[in-house]
Amino acid sequence: MKAIDIINKKNNNEKLSYEEIEYMVNSYVKERISDDTMSDFVWSIYYKGLSLDETYYLTDVMIKSGETIDLSHINKPVVDKHSTGGVGDKITLIVAPIAASAGVCVPKMSGRGLGLTGGTADKLESIKGYKLKMSKQAFLKELDEVGCSVISQSEKIAVADKKIYALRNEIGAVDSIPLIASSIMSKKIASGSDVIIIDLKVGKGAFMKNIKDATHLAKTMVKIGAYYNKKVICTLSDMNAPLGRNIGNALEVKEAIDFFKGNYDKRLYDLSVYLSSLMISSAKKISFRSAKELVINLLESGHARNKFNAWIKYQGGNLSKIRDKAKKLNVVSQTSGYVNKIDSLKLSKLVFDLGAGRVKKKDNIDYAVGVVLNKTLGDKVNKGDVLATVYYNKKLPDMKEALTNCYLIEKKKAKIKKIIIKTIK
């Protein structure tokens, strides 16, 4: 086989066989073909697409390029939850302990963030003592004793995806539906859960900008799951505005702590209750309605909060020691009206510029910096009210202006969109 023939075949809109896709992926992992040749292959997929079968072949080859985790001996229902990444997305910190307190096992491997938003691993690292690295045995022991565990993404899982995803990031070929579907599903299938809940973000602050493309991606992932007999459920959620009030690694941990104390942001509460109910109902095979009643009960009784505390403590974290040392700047409104929009993309760029995100994998980040929204979607604002507080360690020249520009304040109150758009199973 020759790489050039396979690339030309795709460029001519012909279907590739399992062996041809396997040849390209494995040759790249073994460094038998160069970054340039692999880029040509990636671009041919980017422009010509892949059929469902081809997307499955790519997923399968990437799964086989690394280790897989066997969770079949766990005698509790097992469910994984994945988010495609959004601004202020601290959902994993909330739904993993809720589901675990309902007797569902939640094994999670989370990555560090690249680009504008921090990953769950970055958020957890802002808790002093929290250990993201664990042996496989310790991970399984925690799942047995606590019910949830969040560790760093193993380097040994879907090895080919890591290499190809890094290349795609470098050449700007991320937003391709078959490439995203195979990338996410290769990691999820290799991680061993039978039920996979995907929170697919749609809107300005997400890589899926519209509902049509997000629906196509969701359907593709559900179908790929079926090849492996895995139940995949995708919820499309709105990312035109940030999730919750705190954006920034340590600040998001603090919002999760507050959440379990009963101080909720409405949109964050709605999505957290919805996703945890979905996790519990599909894993325990009970109705969504009963699962939702259970979730509300677990939150109100404090069981979910106890589980959150137990999980963080088990992994060495001290919730009274958060890396949150930063200076504060209150930004006040220059006008009166209603908050009709908060631009999540602009906000994430500001938080990134403050130092909360990284360009390259090895870059250091500042856990403490970010923004806390005092006024959120739908709120009434009077001139002079504090809109938000910026937490910073290095002062940016235009911080106030950048923050003010994230807000659209108008005289007439606009209708606020629901956070949950639809669910595809």
Binding interface with ligand URA (CB under 6 A):
84, 165, 174, 179-180, 183-184
Nearer to ligand URA, 266 or 361 (CB): 361
Q: Using the minimum distance from each CB to ligand URA, give the nearer residue, 84 or 117.
A: 84
Nearer to ligand URA, 157 or 294 (CB): 157
Question: To the nearest whole angstrom, how small is the minimum distance from the Cβ of residue 197 to ligand URA?
Answer: 15
The pair of three-digit structure tokens given for residue 234, joined into one six-digit string:
């995708």
Q: Where on the phi/psi map is residue 264: left (φ > 0), alpha (ψ -120 to 50), or beta? A: beta
- Nearest approach, Cβ of residue 63 and ligand URA (Å): 13
379, 266 contact by CB (below 8 A): no
Whether 73 is a known active-site residue: answer no
Residue nearest to ligand URA (CB): 183
> Residue 183 catalytic?
yes
344/376 with CB nearer ligand URA: 344
Q: 265 is written with which tokens?
A: 């942001």
Nearest to 102 by CA among 296, 262, 242: 296
- Closest approach, Cβ 179 to ligand URA, in A, equals 6
DSSP 370: E
Which residue in 40, 80, 161, 265 is the catalytic one? 161
Which of 10, 80, 81, 82 is flagged as catalytic?
82
* In the complex, least distance from residue 303 CB atom to ligand URA, rounded to whole angstroms: 32
Write the burial class of residue 63 (CB in 10 Å: 0-12 exposed, 13-18 middle, 19+ buried). buried
Amino acid residing at 137: Q
The nearer residue to ligand URA, 38 or 180, going by C-beta atoms, is 180
User: How far from chain centre, in Å, is Cα 166?
Assistant: 17
Q: Is 161 an annotated catalytic residue?
A: yes
CB of 22 to ligand URA, least distance (A): 19
What is the closest distance, in whole angstroms, from the C-beta atom of residue 43 to ligand URA in the complex? 15
Q: Which is nearer to ligand URA, 174 or 211 (CB)?
A: 174
Strand ranges for 16-147 from DSSP E: 79-83, 106-110
DSSP readout, 221-261? HHHHHHHTT-EEEEEEEE-SS-SSSEESHHHHHHHHHHHHT
- CA–CA distance, 328 with 330 (Å, rounded to integer): 7
**Can 187 be counted among the known catalytic residues?**
yes
Which amino acid, residue 344?
Answer: S
**Using an 8 Å Cβ cutoff, are 174 and 168 in contact?**
yes
Phi, psi of 72 (to 5 degrees): -65, -20
Catalytic residue of the set 187, 201, 254, 375: 187
Nearer to ligand URA, 174 or 319 (CB): 174
Q: CB of 333: closest distance to ligand URA in angstroms?
A: 35
Q: Which residues contact 262 (CB under 8 A, 6 or more apart)?
A: 299
Q: How far is the CB of 128 from ligand URA (least distance, A)?
A: 28
Nearest Cα neighbor of 91 from 306, 259, 250 is: 259
Query: Which residue in 44, 183, 191, 277 is the catalytic one?
Result: 183
Integer Cα distance of 237 and 229 in angstroms: 25
Q: Are 57 and 22 in contact (CB under 8 A)?
A: yes
Closest CB to ligand URA among residues 208, 310 = 208
Burial readout 410-421 (b: 16 or more C-beta within 10 A, e: otherwise):
eeeeeebeebbb
Mention every residue, 6+ apart, whose C-beta is less than 8 A from residue 95: 81, 106, 272, 275, 276, 279
Joined tokens for residue 410: 């108008």
- The catalytic site residues sit at 82, 161, 168, 183, 187
